[in-house]
Amino acid sequence: MDKIRCSNFAALAIACLTCTLFSTPLTAQEAPAVTYKLEAGVVYGTGVVTREGKQVSRDLWMDVYYPTEMASAPRPAVILTFGGAFHRGSPRLTFQSGGAQDTSMGNYCRRFAARGYTCFAIDYRLTIEGPVLSGEGYQEEWLEPDSLLPLLPQANHIRETMSLPPIDFDIPEQRKVMVDGVIAAAEDLRKAVLHIRGSAADYDIDPNHIVLGGFSAGAVTSWNVAHGMGVPVSGVFLLSGSDAGFDVTKTVTTSSKRPPILMFMGQYDLPGALTSVPALLAHYQKVGVEHEFAWVPGFGHFYPAGSASLGGDAVSMSVEERIAVFLEHVIGSGR
């Protein structure tokens, strides 16, 4: 897959508008269970949260979508993480805003299972739960709290809809609340990857052919695990997300051997993403990480899997189809 040069990216971003997000959760899109078999609520680990001032452990779960088509060898796998500004959401829910509706992680899993991939849609701890970090899988000096600033306006918007006070990043205690929420999600996804890889025989997957992906906060989390923590995976794709949580200059270098990445952005996406993505792509170009970028014309932060996307090669294809091409490139065909 060719690396995409982004010399005109910043100029295009200037034309993008702010997306207002008054999102209403909907039941995840349903589809006949013909091409997949669902195993719901599988526990992949536990995480510590705060309830009534006490630290307690809660189960972390995932929905597993198996292709019904017979396979002669262990299948490649996709692990998906949902969005919601690290404050809300579920792999079983989708959101709509301004007449646009995204595709839930569960619906993406159904689509990928139909293509022959075993797909895992994970749950993770949210900021409002008061997650307690374990510190496992990374060094504290890798963290870069200021990289979360582009996420702050959307997080505070969502907090307002939940009748929560805004986070003031200049107050250390409040900054820690946001850092803990973002990093806890990464810790949980890392735990899911390790569990799935360690139980590969049970899930009948190839542990060396795993791709991470997600939307918005889930995309940020996928980046934090694959390119921030450096958990070994074959690839990662981001639906309207970028780097936030880890210092990219420390974790993505010429010698870090990070996996290929595919990134999507709505034409009128959130301002924070539109400013951070060009710098990330320029860094990838500098250090030699294989990367591809695609616009989703006419959409803001939310767009369905069937939306047209336009890549640097001027080829238009749906978001789902472009991801499928990427999956085949990095982990092979699901069939």
Which residues does 93 contact at the CB level (< 8 Å), separation at least 6? 25, 26, 27, 28, 82, 104
Residue-level pLDDT at 11: 35
Distance CA 64, CA 82 (A): 14
Mean per-residue pLDDT pooled into runs of 10, the chain (335 residues): 38 34 36 78 98 96 95 95 96 71 90 96 98 97 96 95 96 97 98 98 98 97 98 97 96 96 96 91 96 95 94 93 98 87
- Torsion angle of C-alpha atoms 177, 183, 184, 188, degrees rounded to 10: 170
- Residue ranges per structural domain of the chain: 9-331
Residue-level pLDDT at 32: 53
Residue-level pLDDT at 33: 56
Helix (H, G, I), strand (E, B) or coil at 200: helix
Residue-level pLDDT at 99: 60
234 CB-side CA count, 13 A: 18
Residue-level pLDDT at 141: 96
Helix (H, G, I), strand (E, B) or coil at 59: strand
The DSSP code for 226 is I
The closest alpha carbon to 60, from 182, 191, 178, belongs to 191
Instruction: Spell 109-132 as b/e; 16+ CB within 10 A means b.
Output: bbbbbbbbbbbbbbbbbbbbbbbb
Please state the pTM of the whole predicted model: 0.89
Helix (H, G, I), strand (E, B) or coil at 107: helix
Distance CA 215, CA 124 (A): 14
Chain centroid, CA 9 distance in Å:
22
Fold that domain 9-331 belongs to in CATH? Rossmann fold (3.40.50)
32 CB-side CA count, 13 A: 1
Helix (H, G, I), strand (E, B) or coil at 128: helix
- E-assigned strand segments in the chain: 24-27, 36-51, 54-67, 75-81, 93-97, 100-101, 118-122, 143-144, 205-215, 235-239, 245-246, 261-266, 291-296, 308-311, 316-318
